[in-house]
Amino acid sequence: MEKFKKTYLYLFVIPFLFMPFLTKAQSEDSRVGIKGGVNLSNFYTSEIGSKNAKLGFNVGLFTELAVGEYFSIQPEILFTTKGNRVTYGEDDGIADLVNAEGDVKFNLSYLEIPLLAKVTIGEVLNLHVGPYASYLIGASTDVDGTFDTEVEEIDRDRFNTWDYGLAVGIGADLEAVTLGVRYDLGLAQVADGTISEALLSESKNSVLQAYIAIGL
């Protein structure tokens, strides 16, 4: 599985090695630029207590490689934050496992590479969809309540290094500026360790993004 995840990520990194050459070779409809925005992240699973979305951000680079008049391929490389705040109580079945009662805020930071197919509809509207792969850069928890000491010491080693999933969104191209909204659905389990798996079970990432992209 680990080998598969690494191969999956390499398939996304390779397009960026050739990005300058591909962009130069494309028509004037191709472009490169910077982008950034806000994230509203969460975990999704049916086995943990009440969930509260976490506000974060995303920032990075993109290139849009025109294939036709209305179709393009858009690789990106982003720094993005994920996670959420989970409330644990006596009736959720988790408290007895890790002496958990209260709130835990999970803070995850990823280097993320989406590879998107973009279709332009009409003059400005676009739809985009494609897979993404992420590498976990850092992780920490903020604890408010009664928990085992180990919960407060959860770090990057207690989470899966690799994440991957599907991204789908809609945007508006206004000259050199694009405004958009995107949803990332994670397909990999977030936790990797006795304590983190007890707290999060088979939770996966879920992120709603709003962004602005500027062509250079």
Task: Provide block-wise average pLDDT over 10 residues at a time, the chain (216 residues).
Answer: 49 50 54 95 69 89 90 94 82 57 88 95 94 94 74 80 96 94 95 78 92 93
Is 2-19+27-215 a domain of CATH 2.40.160.20? Answer: yes
pLDDT of the residue at 3:
47
pLDDT of the residue at 137:
94
DSSP string, the chain: -HHHHHHHHHHHHHHHHSHHHHHHHS-TT-EEEEEEEEEEEEEE-SSSS-EEEEEEEEEEEEEEEESSSSEEEEEEEEEEEEEEEEEE-TTSS-HHHHT-EEEEEEEEEEEEEEEEEEEEETTTEEEEEEEEEEEEEEEEEEEEEE--HHHHT--GGGB-SEEEEEEEEEEEEETTEEEEEEEEEEEEE-B-SHHHHHHHTT-EEEEEEEEEEEE-
pLDDT of the residue at 12:
52
pLDDT of the residue at 212:
97
pLDDT of the residue at 26:
47
pLDDT of the residue at 134:
95
pLDDT of the residue at 141:
85
pLDDT of the residue at 23:
47
In the chain, where the domains are located:
2-19+27-215
pLDDT of the residue at 152:
64
